[in-house]
Structures are given as C-alpha cells and as structure tokens.
Amino acid sequence: MTPATHDAGLRNLLSVRDLDAAAAVRILDLAEDMAEVATREVPKLPALRGRTVANLFFEDSTRTRLSFEAAAKRLSADVITFSAKGSSVSKGESLKDTAQTIAAMGVDAVVLRHSASGAARVLADSGWIDAAVVNAGDGTHEHPTQGLLDAFAMRKRRHADASRGRDLAGLRVTIVGDILHSRVARSNVWLLHTLGAEVHLVAPRTLLPAGVGAWPVTTSSDLDAAIADEPDVLMMLRIQSERMHAAYFPHEREYSRQWGLTDERFGRLPAGTMVMHPGPMNRGLEISAKAADSDASVILDQVTSGVSIRMAVLYLVLSGAAAGA
Amino acid sequence: MSVLITGAALPDGSVTDLRIDGGVIVEVGAGLSAAKATRIDADGLRALPGLVDLHTHLREPGFEQSETVLTGSRAAAAGGYTAVHAMANTSPVQDTAGVVEQVQSLGEQHGYVTVRPVGAVTVGLAGERLSEIGAMARSRAGVRVFSDDGKCVHDALLMRRALEYVSGFDGVVAQHAQEPRLTEGAQLNEGVVSAELGLAGWPAVAEEAIIARDVLLAEAADARLHICHVSTAGSAELVRWAKARGVRVTAEVTPHHLLLTEDAARGYDARFKVNPPLRRDEDVQALRAALADGTIDVVATDHAPHPIESKECAWQEASFGMVGLESALSIVQQTMVDTGLLDWAGVARVMSRVPAEIGRLAGYDAPFSVGSPAHLTLYDPAVSAPFDVGRLRGLSVNSPYLGRELPGRVIATLHRGVPTVLDGELRDPEEVARG
Ligand SMILES: [Zn+2]
C-alpha cells in the first residue's frame, strides 16, 4: 500500500462531528494501512519528511503526547513538543501568545491538548496561525482521535482482516460512567452514531448532562439492565473521586456497587462482548482487574490503535498543503 | 445654548418643531423659528426622550483599560442615552459616599450624560456586611439604586435586611439573581448546547430560585425590589405572578437577551459569553412578550466593556459581558418595534420614563413638554447597515453584533439642551463640557 492512494486531506480535526461516515471510514482504512507499516522491518514512511508537527500540551497527558509523537516520527515528520509539564508552556501563558510563538517557527500542524472546551476550535478560527489544528482533547468537549481509535479497535475486533471499507452498522455500544465530564464519551457518541452503531449511556443522573435528551442515544441509570441487554461493547469511563465532593455521588464504594464492572457483573456478560476503557483505569473502582485483563478486553488494542489512527490523521491534515508552506 | 429642531416625529407619531433654550424645552409647535439657534432638521426622524440606562458598567475607578466615565459616557450618548446608572463593581467598590461622589462628579465634569452611581449593597460586594447605604443615599450623589451586581446577594437574611434598610431611603435593591452554588464554574445556559460543547451549565433554576425567594422577601418587607437582566421564561413568569400579588417588584431585560440565543456559542466565540448566559429561543420569545405586556418594566444594557485579551481566548478563560450602549436602541427596534410588539411610545416608556422612575431620576416624566429638561435623541429608524467597530464609541469592542445588519441610527442626542451627538457624530469633549 501507499498512503498516496488516499487523496484530499482534512483541513483540521477539531470534532468528530465534522466527519461524515465516508470520511470517518476513510480515516479508519488509512489507519489500517498505517498499522501495517508498524509490522515492517523499518516501521517508518517518508510521507511527511520536511514537515513539522508541534505538540502543544497545555494539559499534561503523557500517553496521548507519546502516541502523537510516535505517529509523527513514523511518518518522518519533525516534532517539537511544548508541554506544561516542562517549562516550555509556562502556567498562565495564553493560547494566543503560544500559538504565535509556534507560528513564527513555521510549524505545519499543531496538536493541541487544552483543559478548556473549544480551545482547538478557537485556535483554528483565530487566524493566529496558518497550521492545521488537531484536537488532542479539549476540556470536557471532545477527544476526536480517541473516538476514532475506539471505533478502529471495535471494527478490528468485529471484522478482523475484513475491516476495510466497513462502518459499525448495528453494533450495540454501552458507555458507562461520568458522561457529563467526559470528552471521550462525547467523541464516541457522535462518531459511533455516524458509523451506524447504537449507543446506550449508563450513569447516575447526576453525571448525565442536562440536554442529553437531544443526543442520538438511549440513557439509563441501571448497569445491570444494560448488561442483561447483552451489548456488543461495554466501555467503562474513568471516574474521578473528586466528583463525590461535588455531590455527584455519595462515595466510591457506592459508585462501584452501582456502576462498576465488578467480577460478578463481568461474569454475566456474553462471551463476545468487548470490554473497553480509555484509560488510565482505576482498577477496582470502575473496572475490576479481572475484567480489564480478560480476553474480552480491548484495552491494549486501544493503545496500539492510537498510533495508527494518529498517523492517519496527521497524514490527512498535512497532505492537503504543500511541503514547507 | 439655543437649539431649534424642526419636523421631528414624537413617540406618539405627531410631528412638531421644538425650541430649546437654557437646557429646557421652551416652545413646542409647528413653524417655530429662532434667530441664533443651532438648527437640526429632524425631517423623517423619530424624537425619543433621552434614554436612561439602569445598568451600565463604567469601570472607573479601577479598570480604566476597559472603560472610563468619559468613554462610557460617550458610548452612551452615541446610543441615544442621556443618563446611565453606573454599577458598583469598580475598584475601589462604590460602597462609600466618597467613591459615589467621585464617580458622579466625573460624569458632571464631562457632561455627555447624567451619571448616577449605583451603591453597593454590601461592603466590597463581599455579601457579608451592609455598606454605608445611608451615607451614599444622603451624599451629593443621592444614590437610590443599590446593587452588588456581578454578584448575587445570596444570603437570605442579608437580602431581607437590605430590602428593609434601603426602603428607608426611598431606594431600591437591584438583584443580580444567581444562586452561587448552582452556578459554580458555569459557562453557558444549561441545556442542549452546553451538553454538546462540554461547558459547565448555568441552569435557569439558579436565576428563578433567587427571584422566587426575593419577591417573597420584598413582599414581607414591603420594599422595592428590582431584578437585573431577567433571562428566562420562568423568571418572567415569576415576576408576572409577583406583580399580580402586588409585590413592589420591577424587572429589566437586556437587548442581547431579546435577540440572541445560546446557539451563538456554538463556535466558542467568547464575544457571546455573558452573565446571565444567552438562553433558548423559547426564553427570547417569552422575554419579548413580557416586555410588551409590562411584566418586564425596562430595557437595560448591562454594558460590560472588557479588553481584547479577555475575549481572545478559550471560552472558559474569557470574561463575561458585552458592550451594549451603542447598539441597544437598534436591537430594541429590531426585536420589539419591527416585530409589532411595541410602538415608539412603548420604547420611550421602557427605555426612558420607567428606568428614570425606578432610579428616582427627575426630569423624565414629561418629555417634550414646555419647561421640561431637554434630554432627547433623534433617531432614524429607516436606515439599516452592518454594525461595525466604528459604531463603538467606548474603549472596548466586545460587541456581539459586529458584522450583523442592524436597523436604525442615532442622529443627534441632547443632554440638558446640549448636543452630545450631531449629524450622527459625537461632539468633542471640550464642546460638550462647555455646554
Ligand atoms: Zn449582573
């Protein structure tokens, strides 16, 4: 395969809602190609030689940052990383100032992680930079590459080598946990819907957003009923214990009892159900160790898929413009 | 200074000439003449009484990079206003006689509009102890409107005491109705759009719960209560209910809540970030109906200038607020007059006479009558143009209307008979200050 057979790029990737089914499938297919590269003796393509990708992480996320760095390097791009964890993005430095610093360096794409919802959209609309913008997680809004890699992992598990060209029509996906504060849930809901999957959300009422009624999903507070419904995919979201201080739920044990994937609940899942988690996991809280490490778990596939998906996205946003532009 | 206005259509539709001398209207009728007067041809223009804003943030003292009394007064005059009530969240806070007198005298010195300082209800807007309400009321500034605007007087006991105490000075407590615990970190109306955008919701009930409580407190205290920037259909319903019970409550709505909805936030453009937030279309329609039927008494701008950097950033890092003085009359025309909900006499009521009554500001009860102070504006409702940054005459440009086609244009404004705007242009500060 050569990625050059995939034409027309993406301008930016800000939200999965900007993708129609054909565009989403195209990214998943390109990621299949990219996954093959990883199996080669020299797992590297010259596709983005001479292009520069800036990883701009206002909020620390080692996993996502490393995944984007690996993706860019496998495509032979140069990578500059600005991370809040180091001193390259000082606390309180504005998006605008940092963006303009980066623009002066002639960067071709910016991978932005930010604690504020909409930050990637603001950067893309601002005119402060010419570079393509890839949203690597914005507040509680979206995490598009996570949504894509989850879809990729689901499709791969379901269709294996026959994945190419397929959507997720008919797949029944249940997402459990803190929907209100989850950018992963939002990206999954919209993308899975676009790809034809049926999405069911399970959470205490306090952690379902007001306005969820307008989403293309069904909702409930009953995980046991959801398990009895035998979903194809059960995705457990990370619960942050500080939520109990804001009265979203009483305490961790109660949460775990009502909405945790315990060994006992795991035992009731049909054999074919995929268990997913975007990580990092609180083992023993929202998911038991047994469930996380079982054959049903797709959690490690999710990590592997991450690099392929990010290669595909970087390739698409950078293949539109001329090198060095 | 003598001014002769010819051929102006008054709010009731009658066309007349007006002769102004010594700051008052001296003659009304057809075919007037005056030898050495400044003549204004008002043919085709609507004469309105000088507009009175109950809710303006002038930012001075303390935040002069956003606005000053002078620049805010100019923005007001450009929008047809002749009086503004300057909110108390300055630095230092307007919570003593000294500060309110300073703000008032800055207004007098510049002369574009009458600046009526609002006094803080509590010291430093901290919501803990009553400020020197009596001293402010009896000061040269004669404060009658008291508000912690920007913050809600959320403590029920303090609110009760404030209502009782202020009523002894013929004052009114203007409440910024926002239950603080229900709005921690709130960014946007809680609902469909906040759910999609992943922004913390500002639920309608956080406004309505405070209004429900406060109308009952006002009834129990037999005191005057004013509700700032009512933004939801439920709030309008509560005010309607309270008025039917005889509660002495008045309410204001902002131009932006009459026009814009939460959908404007979808692009995360922080110019649309305001507190209370833009709501649903159902709310907009209910607010228009409530203003038309008198449930909501007045339109107030909540003019809130901010420097560029506090809007050029991610939504949740941006400041709340929009400038509104220069655009208010156009928005009211578009949402209320052009829709047939209000006639020009109604506009004069909700933007001049009633806000003056609530603020206990004299001189606005009998506009266009011989002997009345000459506070008026001449407005051309027939023109329409894209609202551009050139129309903004204050220091800040955080207007949600830039680029939007808006009807109407203020052609002239007179404050105490002195033109502050002529031929659609602000006059120079020296000329205005000379009178
Ligand atoms: Zn307010």
Report the CATH number that the domain containing residue A132 is assigned in CATH: 3.40.50.1370
Range of the domain at A52: 3-142+306-322
A16 touches chain B (CB under 8 A): no
Same domain, A16 and A34: yes
Q: Is the CB of residue A217 less than 8 Å away from at least one CB of chain B?
A: no
Nearest to B353 by CA among B50, B43, B42, B39: B50
Cβ neighbours of residue A30 under 8 Å, at least 6 residues apart? Answer: A3, A6, A312, A315, A316
Q: Is the pLDDT of residue A61 over 80?
A: yes
CA of A126 to nearest chain B CA: how many angstroms apart?
8
Average pLDDT over residues A19-36: 96
Average pLDDT over residues B284-311: 97
Mutate to test the interface with A, among B268, B269, B282 (most CBs of A within 10 A): B268
Query: Are A287 and A160 in a shared domain?
Result: yes
Alpha carbon of B318: minimum distance to chain A alpha carbons (Å):
10
Amino acid at B218: A
B196 touches chain A (CB under 8 A): yes
A114 and A200 in a single domain? The answer is no
Residue B310 touches chain A, beta carbons under 8 Å: no
Residue A123 has pLDDT above 60, yes or no: yes
Residues A135 and A191 in one domain: no
Do A16 and A132 lie in one domain? The reply is yes
Please give the structure tokens belonging to residue A254: 């109660």
Do A296 and A310 belong to one domain?
no
Cβ of B267 under 8 Å from any chain A Cβ? yes
My answer on whether A83 and A156 are in the same domain is: no
The amino acid occupying position B291 is L
| Cα torsion through A8, A11, A13, A14, rounded to 10 | -150
Chain B residues closer than 8 Å to A94 by CB = 309, 313, 317
Residues A160 and A116 in one domain: no
Residues of A in contact with B267 (CB under 8 A): 121, 125
> What residues pair up with B252 in beta bridges, in sequence order?
B298
> What residues in B contact A210, CB-CB < 8 Å?
190-191, 194-195, 201, 203
What residues of chain B lie within 8 A of the CB of A119, using their CB? Answer: 314
pLDDT in tens, A259-309: 999 999 999 999 999 999 998 899 999 999 999 999 999 988 888 899 999
Per the structure, the count of domains in chain A is 2
Contacts of B412 (CB under 8 A, 6+ apart): B40, B42, B377, B378, B419, B421, B422, B423, B424
ipTM tops the 0.95 cut: no
Catalytic residue set of B:
302
pLDDT of A243 above 80: no
Q: Which pLDDT does position A303 carry in this prediction?
A: 83
Q: What is the pLDDT of residue A90?
A: 57
Contact A234, A227 (CB under 8 A): yes
Nearest CB partner across the interface for A114, out of B192, B197, B314: B314
Give mean pLDDT, residues B213-226.
Answer: 98
> Which of A18, A58, A122, A140 is the best substitution to test chain B (most B C-beta atoms within 10 A)?
A122
Q: Which of residues 69-98 of A touch B (CB under 8 A)?
A: 94-96
- Ligand 1 centroid vs B126 CA: distance in angstroms? 15
Q: Please report residues of B whose CB lies closer than 8 A to that of A100.
A: none
Same domain, A151 and A281: yes
Structure tokens at A138: 């914005």
Contact with chain A for residue B268, Cβ under 8 A: yes
Of A117, A210, A246, the CB nearest to B203: A210
Is residue A1 over pLDDT 80?
Answer: no
Query: Cβ A117–B194 below 8 Å, yes or no?
Result: no
Average pLDDT over residues B297-317: 96
Give yes or no: residues A166 and A91 share one domain.
Answer: no
Q: Which residue ranges form the domains of chain B, and what is each CATH number?
A: 2-47+372-434 (2.30.40.10), 51-358 (3.20.20.140)
Task: Kindly state whether residues A291 and A315 are assigned to the same domain.
Answer: no
Please tell me whether residue A54 adopts helix, strand or coil conformation.
Answer: strand
What's at B100, amino acid-wise? Answer: V
B62 touches B76 (CB < 8 A)? no
Residues of A in Cβ contact (< 8 Å) with B206: none
pTM metric for this prediction = 0.94
> What is the pLDDT, as a whole number, of residue B388?
96
How much is the pLDDT for A325? 32
Tell whether A212 is within 8 A of chain B (Cβ): yes
Residue of A nearest to B187 (CA): A117
Scored b (16 or more CB within 10 A) or e, B79-94 reads bbbbbbbbbbbbeebb
Are both A108 and A215 inside the same structural domain? no
The Cα of B33 is separated from the nearest Cα of chain A by a number of Å equal to 56
Query: Is-contact A173 A146, C-beta < 8 A?
Result: no
Report how far residue A184's alpha carbon sits from residue A149's, in angstroms, rounded to the nearest whole number: 11
Evaluate if residue A59 carries a pLDDT over 60: yes
Q: Is a pLDDT exceeding 90 seen at residue A82?
A: no
Among B193, B309, B315, B319, the strongest candidate for a mutation testing the A interface, having the largest count of A CBs within 10 A, is: B315
